[in-house]
Chains A and B, each alone.
Chain A
Amino acid sequence: ETGVTQTPRHLVMGMTNKKSLKCEQHLGHNAMYWYKQSAKKPLELMFVYSLEERVENNSVPSRFSPECPNSSHLFLHLHTLQPEDSALYLCASSQDPLAGSGTQYFGPGTRLLVL
């Protein structure tokens, strides 16, 4: 595997379910990100991890819970989601989030539908 991989690619869940999204980067990067992409909205940054430490959390509801066990893996745990949470969830990685150059590499995303 190369680049950034995400599983599952598609997910349908009810509002009472608990599920997790998984991301893995094979680029040797130090930082990982979760983004939400919805129609007619710009990419929304949700969480940033640098060297496994969360450095940014952009007022995301607590029903989204990130986990970064090491610099190569990132999870997004989901519980009691709402229909408006249906979107494409993108994982990205970069070499150094604090340098500000912005060169991020994205996975293919998980298309989430909440019923």
Chain B
Amino acid sequence: QKEVEQDPGPLSVPEGAIVSLNCTYSNSAFQYFMWYRQYSRKGPELLMYTYSSGNKEDGRFTAQVDKSSKYISLFIRDSQPSDSATYLCAMSAGAGNNRKLIWGLGTSLAVNP
């Protein structure tokens, strides 16, 4: 079983739709959770960062962490064509030997005008 599972898609939605992207994980020690966005021919850029459980909102983006279910989500409201990219989840258990980031495969999202 992979430590982090993420459906690679592709996911195609119309402009204005609410998008839900998800990752599941198996290591209960993970406590730092990140979403990165990667445009074509670019490197990943940090989009959202959450420590432990709960929600975090930034504009049209909301990140949720449910540690009891080992499940994290990224919601995009009022999606725009400029949101078309690959979204990667990443997580780590913390400091020291557990600091290594474990990555999902990434989900390819296309928002159609």
Binding site for B on A (CB under 8 A): 4, 6, 40-43, 45, 56, 90-92, 97-109, 111
Given contacts A100-B98, A106-B43, contact A42 B4 (CB under 8 A): yes
Residue of A nearest to B91 (CB): A102
Residues of B within 8 A of A4 (CB): 43
Of the A-B pairs whose beta carbons lie under 8 Å apart in the complex, a sample of 30, sorted by A's number, is: A6-B43, A41-B105, A42-B4, A42-B104, A42-B106, A43-B44, A43-B103, A45-B100, A45-B101, A56-B100, A92-B43, A98-B99, A99-B99, A100-B32, A100-B92, A100-B93, A100-B94, A100-B96, A100-B99, A101-B32, A101-B51, A102-B91, A102-B99, A102-B101, A104-B101, A108-B41, A109-B41, A109-B42, A109-B43, A111-B41
Contacts of B76 in A (CB 8 A): none
B42 / chain A contacts, CB cutoff of 8 Å? 108-109
Interface flag for B88 (CB, 8 Å): yes
B binding-site residues for A, Cβ under 8 Å? 4, 8, 32, 34, 36, 41-46, 49, 51, 88, 90-96, 98-106
**Main SS of the interface on chain A?**
loop
